[in-house]
């Protein structure tokens, strides 16, 4: 069965600083990988996805992520964080073999200092 680990439960960065959120997955084949963002009391918004091809994927709101098969990682990055980026971020893996269900990591809560 697939699994996702987000090692950092909380991260605090200063506004304007760069950001990297870590995600490691476990799955036997090439997974479908996703990053979602959740603002307090809200649903999940899809930031970006990776299925195949170019390992560096661009998403909305200036985010990007890089798939590294050798490290089983799919880290999310942003060069300059804005106060509005404060939210919880979830990495997820999906596979066609698992009935299309998404397996989520535990989430990373991002706080942005002014």
Partner 1 sequence: EAGVTQSPTHLIKTRGQQATLRCSPISGHTSVYWYQQALGLGLQFLLWYDEGEERNRGNFPPRFSGRQFPNYSSELNVNALELEDSALYLCASSSDIYEQYFGPGTRLTVT
Binding site for partner 1 (CB under 8 A): 32, 34, 36, 41-46, 49, 51, 90, 92, 94, 96, 98-107
Q: In terms of C-beta density within 10 A (0-12 exposed, 13-18 middle, 19 or more buried), how is residue 64 classed?
A: middle
Q: Which residues pair with 10 in a beta bridge?
A: 109
**Buried b vs exposed e over 13-44: b needs ≥16 C-beta within 10 Å?**
beeeeebebbbbbebeeebbbbbbbeeeeeeb
Min separation Cβ 105 and partner 1, Å? 8
Strand partners, 113: 14
| Cβ-based nearer residue to partner 1, 74 or 81 | 74
Q: How far is the CB of 68 from partner 1 (least distance, A)?
A: 21
Nearer to partner 1 by C-beta: 76 or 81? 76
Least distance to partner 1, CB of residue 32, Å: 7
Phi–psi pair at 15, nearest 5 degrees: -60, 135
Q: Which is nearer to partner 1, 15 or 64 (CB)?
A: 64
For residues 33 and 81, which CB has a smaller minimum distance to partner 1 in the complex? Answer: 33
CB 103 within 8 A of CB 93: yes
CB of 64 to partner 1, least distance (A): 18
């Amino acid at each position: 069965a697939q699994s996702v680990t987000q090692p950092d439960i909380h991260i605090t960065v200063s506004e304007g600083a760069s950001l990297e959120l870590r995600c490691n997955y476990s799955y036997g084949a090439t997974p479908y990988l996703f990053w979602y963002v959740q603002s307090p009391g809200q649903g999940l918004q899809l930031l970006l996805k990776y299925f195949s091809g170019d390992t560096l994927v661009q998403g909305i709101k200036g985010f990007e992520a890089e798939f590294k098969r050798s490290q089983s990682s799919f880290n999310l990055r942003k060069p300059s964080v804005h106060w509005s980026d404060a939210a919880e971020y979830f990495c997820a893996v999906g596979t066609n073999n698992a009935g299309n269900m998404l397996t989520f990591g535990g989430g990373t809560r991002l706080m942005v200092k002014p």
